[in-house]
Amino acid sequence: AQSVSQHNHHVILSEAASLELGCNYSYGGTVNLFWYVQYPGQHLQLLLKYFSGDPLVKGIKGFEAEFIKSKFSFNLRKPSVQWSDTAEYFCAVNVDSGNTPLVFGKGTRLSVIA
């Protein structure tokens, strides 16, 4: 079964700092990869997703992620964070193009301070 590891439990950054959140997955086959954001007290919202093609994926709110197949990684980046990016970020994976469940990492809490 596939699994997802997010190594950073809590990241604290100052406004305008650059962000990179790590995500590694374990599965030998073809995967679809996702990043979700959860603002305090809210539901999960999709930031970006990768199915195939260009391994550099651009999402909403200035986020991007790069799929590196050889490293089984899908790290999330943003060049300059804002206070409003304070949230929890979840990496997720599923296999097959069909309707299979997302498997989530434990999440990374991002705190952006002024």
Partner 1 sequence: DAGVIQSPRHEVTEMGQEVTLRCKPISGHNSLFWYRQTMMRGLELLIYFNNNVPIDDSGMPEDRFSAKMPNASFSTLKIQPSEPRDSAVYFCASSSGIRGYTFGSGTRLTVV
Q: Please give the residue ranges that form the binding site for partner 1 (CB under 8 A).
A: 32, 34, 36, 42-46, 49, 51, 90, 97-99, 101-107
Q: Which two tokens stand for residue 86?
A: 């304070």
Nearer to partner 1, 85 or 107 (CB): 107
Q: Which two tokens stand for residue 24?
A: 């590694």
Contacts of residue 44, Cβ cutoff 8 Å, sequence gap at least 6: 36, 37, 38, 90
Nearer to partner 1, 14 or 42 (CB): 42
Residue 24: in which H helix or E strand, if any? Answer: strand 24-26
* Least gap, CB of 16 to partner 1 (angstroms): 30
What is d(CA 72, CA 57) in angstroms, rounded to the nearest whole number?
15
* Least gap, CB of 82 to partner 1 (angstroms): 23
* Least gap, CB of 36 to partner 1 (angstroms): 8
Nearer to partner 1, 67 or 90 (CB): 90
